[in-house]
Structure 1
Amino acid sequence: MRLLGIDTTGNTLSAAVMENGRVLSEFYIDAGKKHSETLMPAVDGALRAAGYGAADMDAFAVACGPGSFTGIRIGTAACAAMAHGAGKPVIAVNTLEALIENAGAEERPVCAAMDARRGEVYTMTKHNGRVLVAERAVPLTVLLDQLLPEGPVVFVGDAAERFREEIAAHRPDSVFLPQQFLLQHASSVCAAAEKIYVQGGLLKYDELEPHYLRESQAERLKKR
């Protein structure tokens, strides 16, 4: 199976091509540039480096959220457009699931934590494929003091980077993935997508929807 995966849900951007579990190429950008400017050049670079075109993909995978609302919209729109043009299906990957894939065969519980602003994090914790903390948006202190299992927990995500000292103060036995694996990677989106593919989780391009997890500020203000 040949996949093109993209992730635009955070400050980083990446595009990767995976074939039967092997990463053929990955373009990763963390230079503060706009995703709208860098996504398609990264996609083109990943495809060219792998020696394939968009039409050669069996499916297109995208991190559909949670994360940056603007980034999610850019990624899902681009994925749907590419899949429509190539006549191929899409695979929607939860960003937190993809982040947990960064940890590989880690034997300890892995907690994905993304900065959700307003003092909250988007988070999920899994251990050997079993969900210990279901996806949610909560204050960081609630996650650390009430939700996580006892014992060492491996942290991944931009909240682990931003709040490292606070996490370590609450949980002295915390473990943090190395910097090169701490943030979103399209190769992990592909790895998660392969599992979804086996389970039959293919979508048509027009069935792909952003996954915001919570309302945008505009929606909250409208309700008020």
Structure 2
Amino acid sequence: MKILGIDTSSAVATAALLHEDRLAAEFVLNNRHPHLEKLISMIDRLLTDSGTELKELDAVAVAVGPGSFTGIRIGMACAQGLSHVYGIPLVGVNTLDALAYNLMHCGDLICPAVDAQRGEVYTCLYRWEEGELKRLGNYEVVKAEKLAERLLKLDEKTILLGDGAGLVTAALSEGLPARGRINVAHRVFAMPRASSVAAAGLKDFLNGKTWNCFSIRPFYMRKSHAEEKWEERYGKGGTGKGNH
């Protein structure tokens, strides 16, 4: 069983090849280079170095969001192209779920926080129970300050991760992290990892939860800023024609 994992939903571009019993290879690029320029060459190098041909892949797992609108589209377009040409099944993995997989079997409460701009984060709470990742609520977009308040009220040891973690810790009361209740994961585990996308995708694949290049959809939790500005100017469904 061979699963290719892809995540370009943030400033990090990452690809990994997961065999059912081991991680064969993983590439992570965390220097804000345009993903479109790097992703294809990254995947090509990954497959070449691991001695794997595209036709050998059983599935491609791709992060479908939430996250950067442009980044999500790049990763999904790549996955859809591979699926269309080679007939490879696709698995769509929520970015927050994938981040929680970074801390597999962690005993603490896990709180991924993805920067949603405007002082907000995409988030959800998780816990590993008996070897299974349990989502404890709905995916949501919330002000970083509001999430910080919620975590304080929980009064439970919590690990933050994702590129929005800093926004949340900045909103926490002084001295709280030092008391060990709320901490940020080590930077290696705090960022997106394609190996985690592949691991989450493998579980869904084995459960028959797959898509093809036409049926898979991005997971957007709100409209892009450009779409909101368009509707603000032209109204919902506006075409812009005749509006000057």
Q: Normalising TM by the smaller chain, what interval? A: over 0.9
State the aligned residue count: 224
Q: 174, 197, 211: which one pairs with 1:189?
A: 197
Structure 1 equivalent of residue 237 of structure 2: none
Q: 169, 174, 192: which one pairs with 2:182?
A: 174
Q: How does 1:148-167 map to 2 (within 5 A)?
A: 149-161=154-166, 163-167=168-172
From the superposition, tell whether residues 116 and 169 of structure 1 become closer, same or farther in structure 2 (CA, over 3 Å).
farther
CA deviation string 1:105-162 (max 9, x = no partner):
1011100001111010000111122222321100011112136732110111011145
Q: 5+ unaligned residues in a row in structure 1: which ranges?
A: none
Q: 1:138 aligned to 2:131?
A: no
Contact 1:5-1:16 at 8 Å conserved across structures: yes
Contact 2:159-2:184 at 8 Å conserved across structures: yes
TM-score (norm 1): 0.94
CA RMSD for the aligned pairs? 1.6
Structure 2 equivalent of residue 119 of structure 1: 119
From the superposition, tell whether residues 76 and 170 of structure 1 become closer, same or farther in structure 2 (CA, over 3 Å).
farther
Q: 1:97 aligned to 2:97?
A: yes
Q: 1:77 aligned to 2:77?
A: yes
Q: 213, 218, 229: which one pairs with 1:221?
A: 229
Q: Residue 150 of structure 1 aligns to which amino acid in structure 2?
A: D
Contact 2:79-2:90 at 8 Å conserved across structures: yes
Contact 2:111-2:124 at 8 Å conserved across structures: yes
CA distance in 1, matches of 2:172, 2:53: 43
- Most deviating of 41-50 and 129-138: 129-138
Task: Name the SS of the counterpart of 1:26 in structure 2.
Answer: strand
Q: 5+ unaligned residues in a row in structure 2: which ranges?
A: 233-244
Identity %: 34
